[in-house]
Amino acid sequence: MAKDLEKSLKIADQRCIEQGLRLTPQRRQVMGLLLEQEGPRSAYDLLDELQSRHQPGAKPPTIYRALDFLVSAGLAHRLASTNRYLACGHLACDHGHERTLFLVCDQCGAVREATMDTPLKQALNRSLSQEGFTAGTQPMEMHGRCRACR
Amino acid sequence: MAKDLEKSLKIADQRCIEQGLRLTPQRRQVMGLLLEQEGPRSAYDLLDELQSRHQPGAKPPTIYRALDFLVSAGLAHRLASTNRYLACGHLACDHGHERTLFLVCDQCGAVREATMDTPLKQALNRSLSQEGFTAGTQPMEMHGRCRACR
DNA sequence: AGTCGGGCGTTACGCTGTAACGTACGCTTT
DNA sequence: AAAGCGTACGTTACAGCGTAACGCCCGACT
């Protein structure tokens, strides 16, 4: 477990270097908190955690800055529909996670980070171009019940 | 314009009667505010509007209760990613708006309520069943740039 | 040495949403 | 008619989410 954590943090270091970004100690701590968690967490949950574990004096802007950085660096995701954050589930793979789809279980809160297959991407792109709409980078989210909770 | 508003409110009345729900004067006023608007509005915007136009003493729970009712009755939608509300764009049509996709322009804020075509629905359903995930009723949202803002 | 920008601390504030309680009113049951 | 019941709504108070704005420090580049 702790091994996986360290390994993931190393990958995060690497990803930042590649992009010319700085994974400062503070940002790394927050990334560590995200990696430890099972599911998505709210910013204030993470703030509490950060305060009790690393930085007693941390204030809201501290956690939001770190999270914004991690999201923009592609190391974490923000679930817009529930105001929650989670580590990217595809840290290791290279395949730039464009067009991922989050499946959010409304019962247990679990989030599955699904990648869209080719036919789905194509059908979606066709619909979008028909509307003249250019998709941004924010992933899509779908709510429902996961396999375990059905 | 005002004609359309009245007509839409009549349809809303009808929809409620069909479902055995009560579109009270207060709820009807809020529905009217939603129908008047160009784009999606925040709950507090609507609260201000409600206060200045109909109910000076209205408080947050007033507007949230009305909005929750309208959403659950299928007369309005909530954009989870931006905390905004808008009247359902398909009030007139019968085709129960399951599987709609909101295209949200990050620049101008406009929202287009697109209906998924059959191939897209199929591709999506296949992906979901593969994951063992059962979709709920909440519509999906996609962010990007609309035709006009490109 | 000067300056420039990024990261961070700190304060203060605004927006979003709800819990919990009480009241009024219409409906059914007795 | 009286009692009981559920829904809508008023009201208070609070919890959670997020950011603007300011200033300091420090490393990099000239």
Give the domain ranges of chain A: 2-87, 100-144
A134 has pLDDT over 80: yes
Contact status of A18 with chain B (Cβ, < 8 Å): no
Mean pLDDT of B75-104: 88
Report chain D positions within 7 A of protein CB atoms: 7-14, 16-21
Contact status of B106 with chain A (Cβ, < 8 Å): yes
Residue (of A109, A94, A104) closest to A139 by Cα position: A104
Helix (H, G, I), strand (E, B) or coil at A45: helix
Average pLDDT, chain B: 92
Mean pLDDT of B95-120: 87
The two beta strands, B76-79 and B84-87, are antiparallel
**Chain B residues with CB-CB distance to A119 below 8 A:** 123, 126
Q: What is the largest CA-CA distance in chain B?
A: 52
Portion of chain B with pLDDT greater than 70, in percent = 96
Mean pLDDT of A74-92: 92
Question: Which residue of chain B has the CA closest to A133?
Answer: B146
Confidence of residue A1 (pLDDT cuts 50, 70, 90): low
CB contact under 8 A, A106 and B132: no
- pLDDT for the residue numbered B96: 62
CATH class of B100-144: alpha beta
Q: Which uninterrupted H or E stretch holds A113?
A: strand A111-115
B2-87 domain in CATH 1.10.10.10?
A: yes
Nucleotide showing the shortest C1' distance to residue A58 CA: C9
B95 has pLDDT over 80: no
